[in-house]
Amino acid sequence: MPLNAVTALPSFTRPVKATLSVAVFSLMLGLVGCNKAETPEQGADTDAPVETTAPVAGQDAATNSTATANSDQVVTIYSSRNEQLIKPLLDQYTEETGVKIELVTDKTGPLMARLDAEGKNTPADMLLTVDAGNLWQAAEQGLLQPVSSPILEANVPAKYRDPKGLWTGLSLRARTIFYDPSKVDAAQLSTYADLADPKWKGKLCLRSSKAVYNQSLVASMMENLGVEKTEQVIRGWVDNLATDVFSDDTSMLEAIAAGQCEVGVSNSYYYGRLLDEKPNFPVKIFWANQDTTGTHVNISGAGVIANSDNPDGALKLMEWLSSDKAQGLYASSDKEYPVKEGIDESDLLRSWGPFKQDTISVQKFGALQTQSIQLMDKAGYK
């Protein structure tokens, strides 16, 4: 799409904005396309495939549907969530409401860079991503606008929402300990900090410190244990590593299954998805910190784009995603925990048993992100 074709257009109507964004984005691909901190992960959220624009529910991929549809009837989502996991939920919304959804999938970093570059011309109405650290970062960069919603306030506990209404959690994920039951007795396990004990020397597997999930976990430890103690723990983890750090949680879990290590830390839904494929996957889950602060819990969530043309449409969709029906789907198809209390979990999640969650507000993860990265770097955690 040549840029001069855009400048010849008379006014910045929504269809023109969509055209402009394509032009701006094709320029940006060169800037962000090579910026991959981690290797792709099967079924991952933050490592979603690079730039697939996938129209939902019968939309014509070859045309700008925004040019033909009433803009109130289209919500454009910039999403870092795995498309296969989120699309059934969005299809359901379109079926119920008639509102079409344009889904643009990429990693969170490139999506935020794209929003920043597009500015007022962005076609995006909603950012859908994982980890409170990412949502906090998007809010810090001024990419989101505050919303006030009695529905979200009723459905989503305050500790999983931004106090100014810039973003809200829509599902929960636990980051906890996994182990090889042929070598480890659950009675030997207790806390994240205990994985720094010399008894785990040469037995621990971890994902890279570059993963926002680990940055948030370490941020929670800084809050719960203090900075000095957290640094000691990280140094102990590094001393105990059986092998180099992994680029994703799934590979780490597979390394435990393969006997490369005996214990590790992963988000719960990766384990659930592996069990779906291999019901006899030889790894067990252990709820960390049950006698202390509770297991680390993070969110996936969303915010309304600051420059959205259809903020009401984006908010309605967010409210729907927090409804009983959508929350049940998060539990059954995504293997995540509902953010709304009192929603029935899937059989699989129930089989892992109840657990005590860390009560820390997820807003802290973003605020401590830079310090967390610096601490891991100082302690030699790659």
Contacts with Fe ion by CB under 5 A lie at 44-45
User: Least distance in Å: CB of 175 to Fe ion?
Assistant: 10
Q: Taking the complex as a whole, how short is the minimal distance between the CB of residue 209 and Fe ion, in angstroms?
A: 16
Q: Shortest distance, CB of residue 245 to Fe ion, whole angstroms?
A: 16
Q: Give the residue with the Cβ less far from Fe ion, 313 or 338.
A: 338
Position of minimal CB gap to Fe ion: 45
Closer to Fe ion by CB, 292 or 357: give it.
Answer: 357
By beta-carbon proximity to Fe ion, the closer residue of 25 and 246 is 246
Query: Residue 376: is it exposed, middle or buried by C-beta count within 10 angstroms (0-12/13-18/19+)?
Result: buried
Contacts of 219 (CB under 8 A, 6+ apart): 133, 364, 365, 367, 368, 369, 371, 372
357, 297 contact by CB (below 8 A): yes
Q: Is 179 annotated as a binding residue?
A: no
Residue 363's alpha-carbon distances to 121, 321, 328, in angstroms, are 29, 20, 24
The least CB distance from residue 121 to Fe ion, in Å, is: 30
Q: Which is nearer to Fe ion, 130 or 193 (CB)?
A: 130
What's the min distance (Å) between Cβ of 230 and Fe ion? 23
- 3-state class (DSSP) for residue 123: coil
270 is in an annotated binding site: yes
Q: Among residues 123 and 133, whose Cβ is nearest to Fe ion?
A: 133
Give the integer Cα–Cα distance in Å for 326 and 203: 39
Instruction: Name the minimum Å distance from CB 180 to Fe ion.
Output: 22
Beta-strand pair 74-79/337-338: unpaired
Give the residue with the Cβ less far from Fe ion, 45 or 180. Answer: 45
Measured in Å, how far apart are the chain's first and last C-alpha atoms? 41
Exposure string over 217-227, b if 16+ CB within 10 A, otherwise e: bbbbbbbbbee
> Closest distance between Fe ion and the C-beta of residue 285, in Å?
16
- In contact, 85 and 171? CB cutoff 8 Å: no
**Cα 265-266-271 angle, rounded to 5 deg:** 130
Nearer to Fe ion by Cβ, of 224 and 250: the residue is 250
Q: What would you report as the CA-atom Rg of the chain, rounded to the nearest whole angstrom? A: 21
44 or 252: whose CB is closer to Fe ion? 44
The minimum distance between CB 44 and Fe ion, in angstroms, equals: 5
| Residues in the chain, overall count | 382
**Token pair 């030889």: residue:** 282
Annotated binding site for Fe cation: 269-270
Annotated binding site: 269-270
